[in-house]
Chains A and B, each alone.
Chain A
Amino acid sequence: NAGVTQTPKFQVLKTGQSMTLQCAQDMNHEYMSWYRQDPGMGLRLIHYSVGAGITDQGEVPNGYNVSRSTTEDFPLRLLSAAPSQTSVYFCASSYSSIGGEQFFGPGTRLTVL
C-alpha cells in the first residue's frame, strides 16, 4: 500500500513549457485534490475531484488543467508554465470530502525560470 504517490519530486521548467505532474493513490479514494504551497500563503486549492469523470475548480485554477479518467490517477497539467507557478505542489486523496481525512503525497517542487 503506497498511499499517495507523486512524480516527479523536483522539476525545472522554462517559461512557456508544458508538463504534467502525476498523482496516484491506491486506497480507492473517491476524492482527490491538488494544492500549491507558497511561503506565507499556506496551501491553496487548485482543482479537486469527487470521483472519476468529475472535476471542479478550487481557489487558484488559472493556468492548470486536470482530468480524472480513473479513480486512482489525478494528473495536473501546466499548459504554458510561468514563473508565478514556481511552488511546491501537493496531491491529496480522501474517501470523502465530507469529514474525511486527506492523505497527502510527498510533494513536487517546481521551479519555472
Chain B
Amino acid sequence: AQSVTQPDIHITVSEGASLELRCNYSYGATPYLFWYVQSPGQGLQLLLKYFSGDTLVQGIKGFEAEFKRSQSSFNLRKPSVHWSDAAEYFCAVGGWRDDKIIFGKGTRLHILP
C-alpha cells in the first residue's frame, strides 16, 4: 500500500527566506505525486504535480518540486517566501496501479515578519 511521510509537522521561516518542505513516499511503481496547500479555514488547492517526464516541476505561486526516485522524495521548494504563504501543505501520492490518492499528515508553515 502506498504511503506518504512528511517529517516536519511545523516549519518556521522568515519572510524572504528560502523554503524546503520534505516529502517521502512509498509506492511499488512509478508514482504520481502532488503538493496541495490549505489556507486557514479553506479547502485544498493544487500547487503542482509530477506525472512523468522532467523531474523538476514548476507550480503556482512560485513553488517548485523535484522528484528523486532514488530517495523516494518529492520535496517542495520556494526561493523566497511571502507572508501569504503561511498555510498547511500536504503531499499526496497516487499511481496507475491503485486508484487511491493518499495524503501525508501535512506541514504547517509559519512566516516570521
Contacts and interface: CB of A to CB of B under 8 A. Distances in A.
B93 to A, nearest CB: 11
Interface in B83-106: 90, 94-96, 99-106
Given A40-B105, A42-B106, A104-B43, A98 B100 contact: no
A99 B51 CA distance: 6
A97 B46 contact: no
Interface residues of B, number: 24
Contacts of B6: 42
Interface string B12-56: 000000000000000000001010000000111110010110000
Contact of A45 (B42, B43, B101): B101
A43 B32 contact: no
Tell me if B's interface is mostly helix, strand, loop or mixed.
strand
B105 A48 contact: no
B94 A59 contact: no
Given A98-B32, A99-B32, A99-B94, A107 B43 contact: yes
Interface string A79-113: 00000000000101000011101101111000000
B49 A101 contact: yes
Interface residues of A, number: 25
Interface of B: 6, 9, 32, 34, 42-46, 49, 51-52, 90, 94-96, 99-106
